[in-house]
Amino acid sequence: MNKTCIQLADIDEAVNCSELDNLAGVVTSLIYFYWNDVATWPDMPAPASEEGTMTFEEAGAWEGDVVMKEGCRAYQLVFTDDSGELTITDQGETGGESCLYELNVTRAKMSQVIFGFENATRGRRLGLIVTDKNGNRYLLGDKLNAARRVAADASTTGKVGTDLNKAPLKFTYGCPRKLMYTGDVENILKIAGAAAG
């Protein structure tokens, strides 16, 4: 018997209003956290049983939530509108294919705060949740692999009055698959284990 993990199906033309909506870009606020502060990561999608299969939709999303360790929380970073882009690129040789997630954002105006953020995240293992302008979310980081802030374009004062004084930021993450995140994005922003008030 030929075992199939993902059941093939027809993919029809977009026929309803929501399927026709398609806005480029990412929402100007991302969620970030230290990788070591996570208690539970979502799992890769898998069939419910050895003989089972997944639909395309099931095979395209993480299973579960990001849950922080007690006393920890995630944070938000607001960046300049229309400056963010997430790309997911297939990479690797046959038998070792994976996906490279790259997030580029820009924070207008260099400041002590943004420099402090860069200093705090340099060389650190991170996790991020990014939302595109269609409302889909993407998780960078998992239980085995962390996202990293890597070298981006130079922070700059600009040369003339019409130039943007800015601090570009770039993050990368390697994942075996292209997946969306459908889990929690609210409780993660509260201190885990804190009593509700």
Of 13-22, 33-42, 51-60, 135-144, minimum mean pLDDT range: 13-22
pLDDT at site 4:
75
pLDDT at site 178:
97
Buried b or exposed e, range 42-72, using 16+ CB within 10 angstroms: beebebeeeeeebeeeebebbeebbbbeeeb
pLDDT beyond 90 at 3: no
Per-residue pLDDT of 87-115, as tens digits, reads: 999 999 999 999 999 999 999 999 999 99
Per-residue pLDDT of 161-196, as tens digits, reads: 999 999 999 999 999 999 999 999 999 999 988 765
In angstroms, the CA 177 to CA 181 distance is 12
CA 121-104-78 angle, to 5 degrees, is 70
Give the model's confidence band at 1: pLDDT under 50 very low, under 70 low, under 90 confident, else very high: very low
Structure token digits, residue 188? 């993660």
Other CB atoms within 10 A of residue 174 CB: 16
pLDDT at site 172:
98
The whole model's pTM is what? 0.91
Per-residue pLDDT of 46-73, as tens digits, reads: 998 888 899 999 999 999 999 999 999 9
